[in-house]
A and B are shown apart, each in its own frame.
Chain A
Amino acid sequence: MVIPGQTPPTNLDEFLEGIWKQNPVFVMVLGLCPALAVTVSAVNALAMGAATTFVLLGSALLVSLMRRIVPREVRIATYIVIIATFVTIVDYLIAAISLELYEALGAFIQLIVVNCMILGRAEAHASKFAPGRALINALGMGIGFSIGLFALGSVREILGAGTLFGVPLFGPDFQPWVVMVLPPGGFFVLGAWLLLFNWWRNRKPAPREPVVAAGEASHG
């Protein structure tokens, strides 16, 4: 990421990277499985964002601490063990906090483990930098991911149920757009957001930096 001869990014750059320039949902288009599956309401979206952020932070810290002692050959195995640990922890925590939320998010909490954004962060960032920077970057990514999920979740909740955070917006006679809480609705809304984002980015004078940094894990 850091090219010799350039000024190294400041902490603020590091933090903002995930929120804007490399937003996991809108720019890198990573972690689509939870982004499409659980964003039927704003609360679910934020909960999934928070759970993912927790896993990102925990794995970034541990990967970064161990970066000097992990041999190259077994690094992926190590990252996966670490990520799986934090996913299991967050799974227990959510079940302890609210069973209702746990059932709403369903299998997708466990599936955070296959969210390639997290492995991508461990491989591309946390394994190369000190814990402080790795945490800042992970927090930015986590918040960026949460913003992406919230953007999807809020639109789907407003159209699909006529509410936002459970508060009715249009009165009792609102006709819900059922398709929005079904899987196709997730694709429609994501497509619309991507359209908006690309249109917005393209109308600015020619961007110079490549959009997706090399070394990111591909979506899986």
Chain B
Amino acid sequence: MSEATLQPVTPSAAMIRTLGLVATVCGILLVLTYQNTLEAINANKRVALERAVFKVIPGAHSMKAFHVGKAGLVPEGGAVPAGAVKFYAAYDQAGQLRGLAAEAAAMGYADMVRVLYAYNPAKQAIDGFGVVGHRETPGIGDKIIFDKAFLKNFEALDARLGAAGDALANPIRVVKNGGKQNPWEIDAISGATVTSRAVARGINDSAQKLVPLLAPHLDKLQGGQ
């Protein structure tokens, strides 16, 4: 009798108990899944990133991620200094540096166009290019992925450091289709000017920051460490 009168229609304790039980069960399920998939997900991400980097740097066999800032070079995993830029160093089988790769992004026609470019310190030029993600119009903007004439721009795109050492000698810029005269210019795809421009702007923004920061540390990257 006492039990019946003590209990209201739905006691708060019952609600809390139920919610607690549900939360516990769900929590256990989540932790189990997380634990069991973590390794596979990280492996997938690493493979995807490696595949992207190896695509822009042919001959690469292994890679390392670094952050470079005013204070110096920090391998991925260490404390990231403020204003640092992330890049990847790729090495061949003998452990020799094949090239550097970095991500760049700029607003395209529909959304951010994210690309990966390879920087060759020996040639002081950009010599590789791949698209990481985009939402441009199929049939027009997505030509940046496979248009042969456009990809030719990135065989030796000049990215020399300027005399002052704090910026590129010549900003990388886009010119209208067929108008390329200098090695630092990118020939736009006819009809996809907006997307071409986004690629150029993204690479320029990224390289303007990365190349000057990187210059004092290039020797440290040789030979894989």
Binding site for B on A (CB under 8 A): 62, 66, 69-74, 77-78, 81-82, 84-86, 88-89, 92-93, 95-100, 103, 160, 176, 178, 181
Contacts and interface: CB of A to CB of B under 8 A. Distances in A.
Given A72-B10, A81-B22, A99 B48 contact: yes
B138 A85 contact: no
Contacts of A178: 137-139
Contact of A77 (B14, B19, B30): B19
A88 B14 contact: no
B37 A99 contact: no
A164 B160 CA distance: 47
Contacts of A84: 26
Interface string B31-60: 001100100110011011000000000000
A93 to B, nearest CB: 6
Given A89-B29, A89-B33, A99-B48, A69 B41 contact: no
Interface of B: 10, 14-15, 18-19, 21-23, 25-26, 29-30, 33-34, 37, 40-41, 44-45, 47-48, 133, 137-139
A96 to B, nearest CB: 4
B22 A92 contact: no
A89 B26 CA distance: 10
A144 B21 CA distance: 32
A71 B139 contact: no
Nearest to A90: B33
Nearest to A63: B22
A178 B139 CA distance: 7
B23 to A, nearest CB: 6
Contact of A88 (B18, B33, B41, B138): B33
A178 to B, nearest CB: 5
Contact of A85 (B15, B18, B29): B29
B45 to A, nearest CB: 6
